[in-house]
Amino acid sequence: MTGKVLTIAQHKGGAGKTTLSAQIAAALESTGAKILVIDVDPQGSLTEWHKIRCQTLGRKNKITLFQTQGWKMMRELPRMQREFDYIVIDTPPHAESEASIAIRMADLVLMPMQPSPLDVWACAPTIKLIVSERKPLMLVMNRVPAKSKLNETIREKLDTMNIQVAKTTLGNRVAFASSMMQGLGVGEFDPRSLAALEMTNLLKEIKKHKAIKVEKKAA
């Protein structure tokens, strides 16, 4: 089986790309899958998370890190897909060439977005790039405040743009930041938290997506 590639992309900075990348990787690893995370963001935040994870978990950490540039990733990715079940790519903001390569290599692109008009407007360049590469997109509402009417307004706006939005939203929860500081996913940090439940539900949606779902072979 060829490993599935999940690219996390969003041109707007501060949308939560690295947090989503790390949390998805940790959630996938908890299912027993073999996971590779690729950090193509020069800022290296995912790399720092992975370093802390190695310190926190030691040999119990099963997530592999590859920090590289986009053109090197293109050369190495086919080999890596034979070695890993899932590959999660964290892309930089405001770097169209690097992001376009990562999007081109993706089976599914995940775009985190906060529920604000500014974020809706800012996501247009990334969506245009994803459409030009003819890749499936799932938008993930991130840092969503509880009981806000704005959430539904933004979702309705996205529906008119014919964009698939994950049913699961990620709340503006301390557990996400706290788990990142320890190199963990929220499911490892606090399995009973609402944040952990949100990630579990989001992962189910991702794995059921037709671009990711692995069809069982007939006996």
Residue ranges in 113-215 assigned as alpha helix (H): 117-122, 124-132, 149-160, 174-181, 186-189, 194-208
What is the band of 217 on the pLDDT scale with cuts at 50, 70, 90?
Answer: very low
Q: In this predicted model, what pLDDT tens digit does every residue of 49-96 receive, in sequence order?
A: 999 999 999 999 999 999 987 778 888 899 999 999 999 999 988 666
Q: Where are the beta strands (DSSP E) in the chain?
A: 4-8, 35-39, 64-67, 86-90, 108-113, 137-141
Could you tell me the residue ranges of all domains in the chain?
Answer: 4-206
Q: What is the pTM of this model?
A: 0.92
Q: In this predicted model, what pLDDT tens digit does every residue of 170-209 receive, in sequence order?
A: 999 999 999 999 999 999 999 999 999 999 999 999 999 9
166: which 2 tokens? Answer: 């994950």
Of the candidate CATH numbers 1.10.760.10, 3.40.50.300, 3.20.10.10, 3.30.530.20, the domain formed by 4-206 belongs to: 3.40.50.300
